[in-house]
Amino acid sequence: MKITYPFSLEAQIAVGFERLQTLYRSLLQQQATELNLTALQIQILSTLHTYPQGISINSLSHHLRLTHATLSDAVSVLVRKKLVNKRLFPQDRRAVVLQLTPKGVQKSGAASHWIQIISESMSSMSLDQKSNLLRALLQIIDQLKSFGMIEVARMCIRCSHFRANVHPGSDAPHHCSFMDKPLRENNLKTDCPLFAEKILGNS
Ligand code: SF4
């Protein structure tokens, strides 16, 4: 029997992502056990960490691609454990905003073990290699977002504050109008809390 296997460059990269995802899931489970939480609760804490101003449960379910019902129980446990606060949204008293408590911020920091491990694995790469990798990842996420396969992509290249190549010839060619700061290629963000969605028709 002839065994076929996807050996194209793209397929090999996709398989690499799959290996990383397996590692991510196993580290998440390990962290969850150590912190006496579930993997989903850790994911919620990590996500809330990137929304310091708070986020509604609807937006959270959008971000994690999970139903409201799946999230509700996990959020209730986090509220009972005093890791998450629920408060009413000032502009709409019917909407509830979720936000980390100081204890939740501490736990979410401990839950970022995955980021440390991946960062350490890149320690022998040059800055150029890491910048190219970041740019390629941003392009992949951007395409998947365009296909509707990724819900939330709070990246510079999709942000209304992003001004691409407005400082040509400089080592920081881009600009963030929100922070009023030039951006290098390696400063581009994959998940920025200051992100603002582009209004259709705006550049
Ligand atoms: S606000 Fe954040 S995502 Fe938007 S351009 Fe500035 S750094 Fe990038």
Q: What is the pLDDT of residue 203?
A: 43
133 in the same domain as 172: yes
CATH number, domain of 58, equals 1.10.10.10
For residue 43, is it within any domain? yes
Position 184 confidence tier, pLDDT thresholds 50, 70, 90: very high
pTM of the model: 0.83
Rounded Cα–Cα distance for residues 17 and 77 (Å): 32
**pLDDT tens, residue by residue, 28-77:** 999 899 999 999 999 999 999 999 989 998 889 988 989 988 899 999 99
Which atom from ligand 1 is nearest to the alpha carbon of 193?
2
Number of folded domains that form the chain: 2
| CA–centroid distance, residue 170 to ligand 1 (Å) | 19
For residue 149, is it within any domain? yes
109 in the same domain as 34: yes
186 and 193 Cβ atoms separated by less than 8 Å: no
For residue 120, is it within any domain? no
130 in the same domain as 109: no
For residue 194, is it within any domain? no
Which atom from ligand 1 is nearest to the alpha carbon of 155?
3
